[in-house]
A and B are shown apart, each in its own frame.
Chain A
Amino acid sequence: MLLSIKSLNVYHGYVQALRNLDLDVKKGELLAILGANGAGKSTLLETLAGLHRPAQGEVMLEGKPITGKSPDYIVKHGISLVPERREIFNSLSVLDNLLLGAFHRYRSNKGTLSDDVAEIIDIFPALKGREREPAGTLSGGLQQMLAIGRGLMARPKILLLDEPSVGLAPMVVKEIMSTLAQLKNSGVTIILVEQNTGAALKVADRGFVMERGHITLGGTSQDILSDSKVQQAYLGRKRMQTAAAL
């Protein structure tokens, strides 16, 4: 198992955001994590990235515990988070944003970073020619691509993505999802948090539904797609039923 999460409990002050959450991730998988607002999806990814310290539970990366480690330790050991709302460095150039993605390996890989940037631009050709522009001037779609590119510059074993499709046009969402599928084929393990259930399950191997801090449903993307509760709540079929009924 590449990543193994055991009975994880995380609080924000007095609010418990994750409750005894268990999840195992195999190498090379693309997992989709679905769920309503406030279910704890972001908290899960942020905890994996080291931004929150769990109250209880364990996270193992390749059999070694990384529970409660700091973000710099975790990114160095192969987990990179593309955060919700992208969080790019607006007033820095596109190029600087990408270069900073490689911060943890800058000292040893200084010489090859421009090749790595070229590789990212190959993955997202729409960024070509915009390298010197302030990242904040890019369109939402390009900013998302930049955020993913910056995450990839860390050379992660596991790439975590928090709602990359939010606010983007369907065409752009399609492009980003197919890029994720390609990345997966090139060997990157991906955990994708999405509210765009349809788009996420199209590329994912397995899907999980989160509710109130833990996983209530898991299976292959086919299983999840055909689950009647998921259809009601997340795929907009049988509109009269609300997410609350789930």
Chain B
Amino acid sequence: MDTPSQLLQLLFTGLTLGSIYALIGLALVTTFNITGILNLAQGEFVTIGALLAISLYATGLPLAAAFIIAVLLVAALGGVLERCAIQTARQASALTLIIITLGLSIFLRGLALLVWGTETYSLPAFSEGGPLFIGGAAITPQSFWIFGLTALTLAGLYAFFELTYWGKAVKAAVLNRTAARLMGINPNRLSLLAFLASGALGAAAGIFIAPVTMTTYDMGFMLGVKGFVAAVIGGLNNIGGAVLGGILLGILESFSAGLISSGLKDAFAIIILIGVLLVRPQGIIGSLKERKI
């Protein structure tokens, strides 16, 4: 029954899923490298971005306006949380700071539950028209939007880090924090910047997937885990790696769900995570220990 077109369909689904994980992984890796913090509330930025845009759209705003406002609001939320929860505990260990982000994630999920309840929400697709058929397999236009956002984000981050002076300054702070401080680079400001950017990126990802997923107050948790696994596969320190990791995970999930059992979908991320922790724990734990915001 596994005809080539069915396999191709699984591949396309996997690529779409993988692009979403890649986006979340990108946000995690960028924040991690700049601040040394693994932001466990990243998935909640995705949820809240999507839910805000959905509510704004429901008030009659055009989709584009709802998108922009929701992205800005979640960026601001990221900034406020960084100032209130991270900056005030700056002297604490990286592990403590990560636990703080876990607390933030629970807090934001609770907030989303209060505001939006347990219902499922959705947005219309960004562009009209039916799916595109390639080799008998369908790709929805929304998938292209998602690929586009991932490609744009990757290109934007690459251009920022490789081509701009400010990007070099951020890289310098990642390479050698003390030396960067001596140049006058203020890592606390970079930390704020990282949270603003990861708020915006998370929200954008959430809004782009809202037409193809069930948006609920608690969807962020699993997305955060998947993004984390994508980042871990990529080595946690490289943006290209996070994208590859995300796409690999998406494809693995799609094939295991399609060919073996749909119950395996989420298990895969956890299995990979445990595998990486067993084989190469220093990849995660080591970098946690040596870096401090």
Interface residues of A (CB under 8 A from B): 49-51, 70-72, 75-76, 80-81, 83, 87-92, 96, 99-101, 103-104, 106, 150, 154
By a CB distance below 8 angstroms, the chain B residues around A101 are: 183
Q: List 5 A-B contacts (CB under 8 A).
A: A51-B178, A75-B184, A87-B182, A92-B168, A150-B183
Is B175 touching A90 in the complex (CB atoms < 8 A)? yes
* Residue from A71, A91, A106 in contact with B182 in the complex, judged by beta carbons closer than 8 Å: A71
Is A89 touching B176 in the complex (CB atoms < 8 A)? yes
Q: In the assembled complex, how far is the CB of residue B185 from the closest CB belonging to chain A, in whole angstroms?
A: 6
* Contact flag A103-B181 (CB < 8 Å), given A70-B186, A72-B186, A87-B176: no
Interface membership of B98, Cβ < 8 A:
no
By a CB distance below 8 angstroms, the chain A residues around B184 are: 71-72, 75-76, 103-104, 154
Number of B residues with CB within 8 Å of any CB on chain A: 16
Provide the bound-state CA to CA distance between A76 and B169, in Å.
Answer: 16
Q: Which secondary structure characterizes the binding site on chain B? A: helix
Is B175 touching A81 in the complex (CB atoms < 8 A)? no
Is B186 touching A89 in the complex (CB atoms < 8 A)? no
**Chain B minimum-CB-distance residue to A104:** B184
By a CB distance below 8 angstroms, the chain B residues around A72 are: 181, 184-186
Is B175 touching A100 in the complex (CB atoms < 8 A)? no
* Residue from B171, B176, B183 in contact with A104 in the complex, judged by beta carbons closer than 8 Å: B183
Given contacts A89-B180, A103-B169, A104-B183, 8 further A-B contacts (CB under 8 A): A49-B182, A50-B181, A80-B182, A83-B178, A92-B168, A100-B180, A103-B183, A150-B183
Interface residues of B (CB under 8 A from A): 165, 168-169, 171-172, 175-176, 178-186
By a CB distance below 8 angstroms, the chain A residues around B171 are: 89, 92
Is A96 touching B179 in the complex (CB atoms < 8 A)? no
Is B178 touching A89 in the complex (CB atoms < 8 A)? no
Provide the bound-state CA to CA distance between A99 and B182, in Å.
Answer: 13
Q: Which 7 A-B pairs have the closest CB atoms?
A: A104-B184, A87-B179, A72-B184, A75-B184, A103-B183, A71-B181, A103-B184
Provide the bound-state CA to CA distance between A50 and B187, in Å.
Answer: 14
Provide the bound-state CA to CA distance between A83 and B182, in Å.
Answer: 9
**Chain A minimum-CB-distance residue to B183:** A103
Q: In the assembled complex, how far is the CB of residue A4 from the closest CB belonging to chain B, in whole angstroms?
A: 22
Provide the bound-state CA to CA distance between A81 and B183, in Å.
Answer: 9
By a CB distance below 8 angstroms, the chain A residues around B176 are: 87-89
* Residue from B175, B181, B185 in contact with A51 in the complex, judged by beta carbons closer than 8 Å: B181
Provide the bound-state CA to CA distance between A31 and B185, in Å.
Answer: 28
By a CB distance below 8 angstroms, the chain B residues around A81 are: 182
Provide the bound-state CA to CA distance between A154 and B179, in Å.
Answer: 13
Provide the bound-state CA to CA distance between A76 and B182, in Å.
Answer: 10
Provide the bound-state CA to CA distance between A83 and B179, in Å.
Answer: 8
* Contact flag A103-B175 (CB < 8 Å), given A92-B168, A96-B168: no
Provide the bound-state CA to CA distance between A99 and B166, in Å.
Answer: 11
Is A89 touching B181 in the complex (CB atoms < 8 A)? no
